[in-house]
Amino acid sequence: MKINLNNEETLSYVKRQGGEQTLLLIHGNMASSVQWDLLVEKMDSAFTIYAVDLRGYGNSTYYSPVNSIRDFSEDIKQFADQLNLDKFYLAGWSNGGGVAMQFAADYPEYVLNIILLSSMSTRGFPVLNTDGKRIFSRDQIIATPGISAMLDAQKSKNQEFFKSAMDQLLYSNNQPDEERYRQYLVSAVQQRNMIDAAYAANIFNISTVSNDAAEGTGEIKNIKAPVLIIWGKNDLLTTEEMTLEIIEDMENAGVNFSYSPVNAGHALLIDNLEAVLEEIYKFLDVTVDGGV
């Protein structure tokens, strides 16, 4: 399914019909809506679910480069308006957590609750040089060895490169089955915005402190919806430090949140879907078929 935005971009999305509860899912980097497949399949039928491909990912278009996380969240605003979604639960995984937080800060009236799964920090997802220092410009990001290697792999559609990286960095307890993994690898090589997305994540900062690449905007204080932070204790990408930054910044801003570490790596839905669903159901206080 597709939605045409007034900025001439087209967003592709998946809809799973369900009950009156609406849940909008925002994926992370090197991913697309397909990474939500297990949650879409297993989430209780009380929920109608929308999983969108952000601009430059999956089957969505990429005509205008993004310069900030807000560019993604503004696309989500148009997406929600065209589908007449005015009150919904919002979930973001990894970099998608930043998009979810920006959207909730800009449009608090739309969001009932926020679920952050292994989310980037309120102070962004840092791009570091070989000395471990945060870098600033797109040119510096392009020159970073890890980013450069991923760009080469995407240009050559080298799925084996991404499989090796995912094996090491995403999965702690389990791996996806062969067909799911194949789809995840396709979404990794489909991405057309690698540098722009890395730059946007690096300068994202809704806290009240500097992250070295950007001063904090303080917009975190505009988040009114309760937030559930779920972090995998074996996560090698979204570090505990980033998660603690979210907690610190939300405490300081007076945001109502709860924190649930689970036994999983970065790919929480593959590693420990049952624990994630249990935490979500408790947080949303929704009675589901299983009686949670």
133 domain-assigned: yes
142 domain-assigned: yes
Q: What three-state secondary structure class fits 38?
A: helix
Residues 24-57 pLDDT 10s = 999 999 999 999 999 999 999 999 999 999 999 9
pLDDT score, position 130: 85
Residues 212-269 pLDDT 10s = 999 999 999 999 999 999 999 999 999 999 999 999 999 999 999 999 999 999 999 9
Average pLDDT over residues 88-109: 98
Strand ranges, E, within the chain: 2-4, 10-16, 21-26, 47-52, 88-93, 111-117, 227-232, 257-262
- Please name the residues in contact with 84: beta carbons below 8 A apart, sequence gap of 6 or more: none
Cα gap 272→182, rounded to integer Å: 20
Percent of the chain at pLDDT > 90 equals: 93
Residues 11-25 pLDDT 10s = 999 999 999 999 999
* Structure-token pair, residue 45: 């039928």
From residue 244, alpha-carbon distances to 231, 259, 261 in Å are 10, 10, 11
278 domain-assigned: yes
Residue 82 has pLDDT above 50, yes or no: yes
Residue 135's Cβ-count burial label (10 Å; 0-12, 13-18, 19+) is: buried
Residue 139 has pLDDT above 90, yes or no: yes
**What CATH number corresponds to the domain at position 11?**
3.40.50.1820
193 domain-assigned: yes
Q: What three-state secondary structure class fits 50?
A: strand
292 domain-assigned: no
HSE on the CB side for 10, CA within 13 Å?
A: 7
Which of 101-115, 137-151, 274-288 has the highest mean predicted lDDT (pLDDT)?
101-115
pLDDT score, position 290: 47
Residue 240's Cβ-count burial label (10 Å; 0-12, 13-18, 19+) is: exposed
Amino acid at 234: N
Cα gap 289→292, rounded to integer Å: 8
Q: Count up the domains in the chain and report the number.
A: 1
For 86, left (φ over 0), alpha (ψ -120 to 50), or beta?
A: alpha
Cα gap 230→242, rounded to integer Å: 12
Q: What is the overall mean pLDDT for the chain?
A: 96
For 92, left (φ over 0), alpha (ψ -120 to 50), or beta?
A: beta
pLDDT score, position 289: 58
pLDDT score, position 131: 86
290 domain-assigned: no
Cα gap 210→255, rounded to integer Å: 20
158 domain-assigned: yes
289 domain-assigned: no
Percent of the chain at pLDDT > 70 equals: 98
Residue 169 has pLDDT above 70, yes or no: yes
288 — pLDDT class (breaks 50, 70, 90): low
Note down the domain range covering 256: 2-284
Stated as kind and residue range, the H or E segment containing 99 is helix 95-106
